[in-house]
Chains A and B, each alone.
Chain A
Amino acid sequence: MKRKQPISTGSEWTFELLERYDSEIAKSAQKFGLDTYPNQIEVISSEQMMDAYSSVGMPLNYHHWSFGKQFVSTQQNYQRGHMGLAYEIVINSSPCIAYLMEENTMTMQALVIAHACYGHNSFFKGNYLFQTWTNASAIIDYLLFAKHYIAKCEERHGIEEVEKLLDSCHALMNYGVNRYKRPSPISAEEEKKRQETRTEILQQQVNELWDTIPKSADADDTVERQKRFPAEPEENLLYFLEKNAPLLEPWQREVIRIVRKVAQYFYPQKQTQVMNEGWACFWHYTLLHDLYDQGLVTDGFMMEFLHSHSSVVYQPPFDSPYFSGINPYTLGYHMMQDLRRICEKPSDEDREWFPEIAGSDWQETLQDAMNNYKDESFIQQFLSPNMMRELHLFSIVDDEREKNLLVSAIHNESGFIEIRRSLAEQYNLGSREPNIQVWDVNVRGDRALTLRHFQHNNKPLGDSTDEMLKHVHRLWGFDVHLESLRGDEVMKTYHCPPPAPSDAA
């Protein structure tokens, strides 16, 4: 191949150069068949980056003190030099918005363009979770709608009132998503239209539920009592509260709904961290090497790029002071590279473990993995013995009934399967967060709400539980009980408000 002239040689970037790099990377990406949303690349200063950080990366959001807290701590850490800012933030929207910091060198900007605008972007567009659960073209409008709506509530009901409500909603945000049922896509337009009619109807339904006028004689009542409400346990606590909490005003239900929708929007990102970052790292590596092969970038460019790349995908060992869990970039990136290797140069071991994909077309295989998996299933499916050996993975079991920790498996023939299963489990959101569901409401009596926690591997609830029940209580408005179950046995109960001492005795 005829080598072209390098696009640039210095480290300074200009807008013309950004455009040229972007178009070259785009060509290269197209060659590899990456399908992306249109890109909107925004150059911002470090202060603006801190702003973007603190509103969970969204270009706009409603106001809340917790974002201020986030901002203040980012600012403190950054100004003290305790941490650098990320080079980029990318938003799952269409057009896909990526922020570049003006301080970056040309190399870093090119790296970020390849990573965010073609890596993450194609992941957002292609992965099944994002496709089913988020609506990229509507999110910005929706956030704008949410921001205005909450500002209006603040005007009408006071900042403090709204803040308290948001505090409680944020606390329960992880329990505001539908894990299995596909939600209806969000749209600011429709939301506004529906709002008015909905508020009235909703209130009516709630009132029906709490209609306390006795319907007939006592005989009926016992039958009624045996029926549980809700008929099926509900895992989406915010949804349940929005629809059924007796005392909430219509605007409060709307605010809960907004938090719920935002939580739902971020839910796929939480489930695909390893894959998403791995995919983006794999592609910035591949795309920039492609530019290098064409002669479009210099050796110096590659040195700087590789230096930065290797520090991003570095995994400190478990006994290093820098260790803070498995680095999702490392795991994801290496798994993607490994997958390509299995396709291109399969070993006998690979043929045994992955008969379907060993020797297949690597682009198709990777594309398929990206489209149809999330972290948990991706690891379960594609973590190869080779990878486990390379990362020296081992498994530790900490059982409170035993005196010592046990090394249950290491990266050898007999341990591969167990390690793969345990690692996949580690990325299962369902077991990472306590499994808490709405169990029962005492419809006929004191309207108390009972939640149930189903212990996973006998793990009890943490020390914030009483605090959390206060938040549930604020939304529900009546007594709240939480039962923590191991199997069918109730291990511990929590109450808000706490039972009076005389009752306990």
Chain B
Amino acid sequence: MSYIIDRRLNGKNKSSVNRQRFLRRYRKHIRRAVSESVKQRSITDLDSGSEITIPKGDISEPVFHHGPGGVNTRILPGNKEFVPGDQIQRPQGGGGGGSGSGASDSGEGMDDFTFQINRDEFLEYLFEDLELPHMVKKQLHDSGDYKLTQAGFTNEGTPERLNIIRSLRSAHARRIALSGSTRRTIRLLKAEQQQLIEQPETDERNQRLAEIEQELKTLKGKLSKLPFLDTFDLKYNNLIRTPIPSSKAVMFCVMDVSGSMTQSVKDIAKRFFLLLYLFLKRAYKQIDVVFIRHHTQAKEVDEEEFFYSRETGGTIVSSAIAMTADVIADRYPPSQWNIYVAQASDGDNWDGDSATCRELLVNRIMPLVQYYSYVEITTGEHQNLWYEYEKIRSEFPDFFAMENIESAADIYPVFRELFARREEQGV
């Protein structure tokens, strides 16, 4: 007797819980592999899954087994020329060659254990424990998200929102209200009936009793005609949409594209911003990003142009800072917005402009922003811009951060440093 069952439509992700357990257990390894892999990636495939490699020794499940040594006898197939008594040199290095090497099950070699994680998992590990610092709730309206909340009851609605208790309660009330006078009459009649029954029997009494009987019957009929539930008793839960409070934030990405920035330096800067952009898109749905690039002049551009266009010239950093300040004044009132600025440059600036930068920053920007991060991409000496910024840092230690990137390998560690989740500090 056989039953044939088609199971193909059953769930196929039975193992996902076990897979999650596995990932959780090797979180540290995976995180290390992710940060290794992000160093090696080009700008275009930053945003995809990844192969994770864990040394086999770290994930083995031990069992008691025999070690090398002792007397091992093994039967092998495929003899060609051996005769009893032949001596064979012991093969070096354990398991090679198929002959020799006892029944040890650890002889599998020290291959690494490799597996794949998908894009979402990759980004999750990449941006784990990162956040925008000092985010505060500034204004609540205008966030796209709503949730439905209970707000009283209505007389109209869809059947699935019917509130049974309310409906029955109101039906009960209606029945009491509408039947009041009838029930009062019934009570009086019953009292009279009782009285009459106790009196001695006369024709008059009997007639009256029959009348009462008749009347009670009609009245009871009337009562029973009252509907138990009327459409008008029905009450429905009333749900209204309330906006979910969310903080509005804007990130200014300010990048130097002047002639002194070589192609590789520009590449590093772009990768830094790409990382930032991915992080913002993933962690904060409601966020505006403003891209500003500058050489001697600053220009606000869109994402496409910011990452891919080639343009070059001299360097005046203050132009970009002034522009940032203008855009803030124009479109992002600090009363409503959390404002963040990330700036990347090779530190090269037109002499005398760095002081202007500092003034602009201290007067027009630092009072308005939640956090200002500056990365300098250089392997050489720092120039005056760095030193001017250091002064700002000492003035606003919590809100101004600066880091130096020397090569592509530093991007991710520096990024983590700048946006690490920190203890709550009063703002």
Residues of A within 8 A of B (CB): 15, 18-19, 22-23, 26, 38-45, 47-48, 50-51, 54-55, 63-69, 71-73, 75-76, 79, 95, 99, 102, 117, 159, 163, 167, 170-171, 173-175, 315-320, 323, 326, 391-400, 403-412, 414-415, 419, 422-423, 425-426, 432-434, 436, 455-465, 467-468, 471
Contact = CB atoms under 8 A, between A and B. Distances in A.
Nearest to A79: B116
Given A396-B74, A459-B71, A463-B106, A55 B2 contact: no
A65 B21 contact: yes
Nearest to B17: A63
- Nearest 4 A-B pairs (CB), nearest first? A317-B78, A68-B22, A459-B70, A68-B18
21 contacts: A40-B2, A41-B5, A43-B6, A51-B12, A51-B13, A54-B15, A71-B15, A71-B18, A72-B19, A76-B114, A76-B115, A76-B116, A174-B63, A318-B98, A405-B87, A432-B103, A456-B70, A459-B66, A459-B69, A461-B67, A465-B64
Given A72-B22, A315-B78, A415-B84, A48 B71 contact: no
B207 interface: no
B115 A72 contact: yes
Given A65-B18, A406-B85, A407-B86, A48 B12 contact: yes
Most buried by B among A69, A79, A95, A320: A69
B84 A407 contact: yes
A294 to B, nearest CB: 19
B98 A320 contact: yes
Contact of A462 (B10, B65, B71): B65
Contacts of A75: 115-116
B84 A45 contact: no
Contacts of B24: 65
B4 interface: yes
Given A22-B4, A323-B98, A394-B76, A50 B15 contact: yes
Interface in B63-122: 63-80, 82-90, 97-104, 106, 113-116
Contacts of B5: 40-43
Given A405-B99, A462-B106, A422 B15 contact: no
Given A38-B2, A68-B18, A393 B106 contact: no
Nearest to A411: B79
A394 B88 CA distance: 13
A458 B1 contact: no
A99 B61 CA distance: 28
A174 B97 contact: no
Interface in B178-205: none
Nearest to A391: B77
B102 A459 contact: yes
Given A41-B4, A398-B71, 19 more contacts: A15-B6, A38-B1, A68-B15, A79-B116, A117-B2, A317-B77, A318-B78, A318-B79, A396-B74, A398-B72, A406-B86, A407-B82, A407-B86, A434-B64, A434-B66, A459-B66, A460-B67, A463-B67, A465-B64
Nearest to A74: B15
Interface in B361-400: none
B310 interface: no
Given A65-B18, A317-B78, A319-B97, A26 B2 contact: yes
Q: Is the interface of A mostly helix, strand, loop or mixed?
A: mixed
A397 B20 CA distance: 46
Given A41-B4, A391-B77, A415-B84, A464 B72 contact: no
Contacts of B7: 42-44, 48, 99
A432 B103 CA distance: 8
Contact of A422 (B19, B73, B85, B104): B73
Contacts of B103: 426, 432
B23 interface: yes
Nearest to A463: B67
B75 A423 contact: yes
A65 to B, nearest CB: 4
B227 interface: no
Of B17, B25, B76, most A-chain CB atoms within 10 Å: B76
B250 to A, nearest CB: 40
A395 B87 CA distance: 12
A315 B71 contact: no
A15 B74 CA distance: 47
A394 B79 contact: yes
Interface in B249-296: none
Contacts of A425: 73
Contacts of B79: 318, 392-394, 410-411
